[in-house]
Amino acid sequence: MAVLGPLSVVWAAMKAYSWGRRSGKASLLDASTVIQFLLYECAALGDVFFVVITAMSCWITFAYKTQKYPFYTTLNEDQEWVLMAYLIATLCLKFVALIHTILQMVLQEIFFIDWERPHVVEDSQHARPISRDVSKDRVELPVVVWRTYLVANEWAELRCVRATCVGLQLLIVLMLLEAFNFMRFSVVQPGFGDGSPSAETTVMTRFAVVVFFYLLVGFLQWVVQVVVVERMILDPFHNFIDLCSIANISVLALTHPLHGHYIHGRSVHGRADTGMAEMNEFLQKERDDLCGFRGLEPTSHLQTFTVCLPTAFRTRYDEIMTTTKSSVTQTRLTGLDQTTAKMAATVRAHQQMNIFLREMVDHYTSDVDYVIRYVVY
């Protein structure tokens, strides 16, 4: 505890410093950075308390059960109260960390970049051309939004994917402890037998047995999900990347104002709003290597990136986002329908943001240009 406690402070300071850099803070000693440091310290200190208490409880309990000569003893009543105090402190600290994590997920900024171009079709209302200008005889159809809705819905479902199922984990642990009577390991007496009816249990022994089986079941469930299911049966993350490539939509998720993640989903065929036969033809071309790669670079398959953005990007991003707020203010002054005006402003801001992000990815804007760097371990 004396070693891990100061290390948790150092870790929280590093996390707060990283948060300040990624948020574009001019000064790293402002109030928001200090608050972030305290929140990160709650999470780190809660982990320290849990690790130390769990290791101590499991070691004393199982060492006491396996000893052949009197060497280990259980905690006395005062030490049990200290253990309970640490458990309550751990619960409070992790609750604060959980609220912080939920707020971080809620405050993330996610934008779906639509690469689809408007379709130009011949105007069939006129039997003869109304002008020698060919452009006057054509109609530009807007891009449909259903592909964006589909990808956004899959993104929302993907955020709920976990490597372990808490309900199943609790059910298995409860079955092991009660149905298979592994709870008898918490009896304060040497050996792992059933024990005498008059034997008692303590808070430490019960905590050690419950946490041991809970972590064991969680680890086995994680191994099955990550090693077996995701590698051999179904990988929801790679499936989502494939969906983005088929739908011709990229995803930019900003966890911080100047930091986030990018999924390049631009279709190598140029469009995705097509029929089933043509889509199948596109997929066959990819299978036979008759088209380019899906990666951001022409000769690369890499589609997922961690992005570090310049302040010029954030300035332009905020300028586009503020148009929605200014439109709502003007609506209050003119007396128009607030919902209609806000929706119209949101549509305009979405179109401007989509154009801006597409130009940034295509290196059309020099002030927010980027360089791809590969991480070497």
Question: Mean pLDDT: which of 7-16, 291-300, 326-335 is highest?
Answer: 7-16
Percent of the chain with pLDDT over 70: 90
Q: Which two tokens stand for residue 18?
A: 């990283």
| Residues 82 and 145 occupy one common structural domain | no
User: Would you say 351 and 337 are in contact if contact means Cβ atoms under 8 Å apart?
Assistant: no
pLDDT higher than threshold 70 for residue 132? no
| Residues 102 and 116 occupy one common structural domain | no
| Residues 39 and 77 occupy one common structural domain | yes
Within a domain: 345:
yes
Cα(12)–Cα(36) distance, rounded to whole angstroms?
Answer: 9
| Residues 18 and 147 occupy one common structural domain | no
Cα(224)–Cα(164) distance, rounded to whole angstroms?
Answer: 9
| Residues 144 and 92 occupy one common structural domain | no
User: Would you say 23 and 256 are in contact if contact means Cβ atoms under 8 Å apart?
Assistant: yes
| Residues 9 and 116 occupy one common structural domain | no
pLDDT higher than threshold 90 for residue 35? yes
| Residues 308 and 251 occupy one common structural domain | yes
| Residues 32 and 144 occupy one common structural domain | no
Within a domain: 317:
yes
- Predicted local confidence at residue 241, as pLDDT: 95
Within a domain: 11:
yes
Sign of CA dihedral 288, 118, 145, 265: positive
Give the number of C-alpha atoms closer than 13 A to the C-alpha of residue 354, restricted to the C-beta side: 18
> How many C-beta atoms lie closer than 10 Å to residue 336's C-beta?
13
Rounded to whole angstroms, the maximal C-alpha distance in the chain is 105
pTM, to two decimals: 0.85
Q: 276-304 pLDDT, tens per residue?
A: 999 999 999 988 888 888 999 888 889 99
φ, ψ for residue 304, nearest 5 deg:
-110, 135
| Residues 148 and 101 occupy one common structural domain | no
User: Would you say 153 and 112 are in contact if contact means Cβ atoms under 8 Å apart?
Assistant: no
Give the number of C-alpha atoms closer than 13 A to the C-alpha of residue 177, restricted to the C-beta side: 20
| Average pLDDT rounded to a whole number, residues 16-39 | 89
pLDDT higher than threshold 70 for residue 322? yes
pLDDT higher than threshold 90 for residue 211? yes
pLDDT higher than threshold 60 for residue 318? yes
pLDDT higher than threshold 60 for residue 154? yes
Q: Which amino acid is at 22?
A: R
Query: In degrees to the nearest 10, what's the CA dihedral of 314, 319, 324, 329?
Result: 130
pLDDT higher than threshold 70 for residue 122? no
Kind and range of the H or E element at 119? Answer: strand 119-122
| Residues 289 and 303 occupy one common structural domain | yes
Within a domain: 176:
no
Integer Rg of the chain from CA: 29
| Average pLDDT rounded to a whole number, residues 112-138 | 68
Measuring CA to CA, how many Å separate 299 from each of 61, 271, 285?
A: 58, 20, 16
Residue span of the structural domain in which 99 resides? 1-107
- Predicted local confidence at residue 195, as pLDDT: 61
Within a domain: 255:
yes
pLDDT higher than threshold 80 for residue 59? yes
| Residues 117 and 98 occupy one common structural domain | no
| Residues 7 and 117 occupy one common structural domain | no
The confidence band for 327, taking pLDDT boundaries of 50, 70 and 90, is: low
Q: 354-371 pLDDT, tens per residue?
A: 999 999 999 888 888 888
More confident residue, 151 or 290: 151
Which residue matches tokens 């190598």? 268
Cα(286)–Cα(303) distance, rounded to whole angstroms?
Answer: 15
- Predicted local confidence at residue 51, as pLDDT: 95
Q: How many domains does the chain have?
A: 2
User: Would you say 17 and 252 are in contact if contact means Cβ atoms under 8 Å apart?
Assistant: no
Q: 336-347 pLDDT, tens per residue?
A: 567 777 788 888
> How many C-beta atoms lie closer than 10 Å to residue 152's C-beta?
15
Within a domain: 209:
no
Within a domain: 276:
yes
Kind and range of the H or E element at 253? Answer: strand 249-256
Average pLDDT, the chain: 87
Cα(40)–Cα(111) distance, rounded to whole angstroms?
Answer: 27
